Amino acid sequence: MSVQGEVDMARSRVFGEVAELYDAARPGYSDALVAEVLAYAALGDRAAVEVGAGTGKATMPFAATGTPLVCIEPDPRMAEVLRRNTVNHPGVRVHAGAFEDWQPDGRGYGLVFAATSWHWTDPERRWDLVHAALAPGGAVALFWNPQGVRDGELHAALAGVDRRHGMAGAPHGEPASSYGEVPGDWAGQPGWPEDECRRDGRFTDLRAVRYRQDQHYDTDHYVGYLASLSRYRVLSSDRREQILAETAQVLNDHGGGIDMALFSDLFLARVR
């Protein structure tokens, strides 16, 4: 694994410090997106694998459809919350460990999906691991929830706070107007997997779908959401508390919350 990959892996393990906050504050995924994935995958009696399941923000809507799931979560604290959240879904099995260390044991799964977690996987191995887990014709679904601030004045005020503290990549870092019209057009930000998948060559029927909805957070909810993010977790506690306090003050000065455009962008492909 590259040095950057090791750094990313370390950042991916900080969520467990605030597993309960993560579970309460993070946005979920729409039923329409889940329906799109399941229609594309056409699982039949095959099970699905979720990579980086966290506390179950995407797990729960899939489990609610009766889909059998193997949920892989590297942080044991997150996995414990996930087990609690899925206790009433006997078709869900939780594997506490890294996707890179998990073994499908020769079982051909019908779907591998990752909800805002694909970027934490090892880029040198992830397509091999997905291919090894899937049955012929099996599907991969990768999706994210990028957001943009709807109020330009509020965006500018929050950007001032972030500049003072050297913060980059916060959810409020882009205005909603800067996003393009197609899935994966994230105001110039990298991470969309289509080119990487095409270069791999073992997948076909590539598709991309975007869902958009308006999302309102009150100040406490939004600050809690920020506190669950890795780029805030890696800060010293004093520095983190300072930037969160200043962010909260800006939100309170602008009506006590923030209105965001939430883009759920979905990438689909299947094994040739």
Given this model, what pLDDT does residue 9 score?
45
Over residues 110-134, mean pLDDT: 96
Residue 230 pLDDT exceeds 50: yes
Average of per-residue pLDDT across 174-185: 93
* pLDDT mean over 211-223: 95
- Residue 7 pLDDT greater than 70, yes or no: no
Q: Is 50 exceeded by the pLDDT of residue 2?
A: no
Q: How confident is the model at residue 6 (pLDDT cuts 50, 70, 90)?
A: very low
192 or 1, higher pLDDT: 192
As a whole number of angstroms, the distance between CA 25 and CA 221 comes to: 6
Share of the chain above pLDDT 90, in %: 82
Which pTM was predicted? 0.88
For residue 187, what pLDDT is reported?
74
Average pLDDT estimate for 75-102: 95
* CA distance linking residue 130 with residue 119, whole number of Å: 14
Task: Output phi, psi for 166, to 5 deg.
Answer: 65, 30
| Under 8 Å between Cβ of 161 and 246 | yes
**Is the confidence at residue 175, as pLDDT, over 90?**
yes
Pairing state between β 48-51 and 109-115: parallel
Model pLDDT for residues 238-255, shown as the tens digit of each residue: 999 999 999 999 999 999
Q: Which domains does the chain have, with CATH numbers?
A: 3-150+181-214+263-271 (3.40.50.150)
How would residue 132 be classed by pLDDT, with cut points 50, 70 and 90?
very high
Q: Assess whether pLDDT exceeds 60 at residue 1.
A: no
pLDDT tens digits, one per residue of 9-58 = 444 455 555 667 766 667 789 899 999 999 999 999 999 999 999 999 99
Average pLDDT over residues 137-142: 98
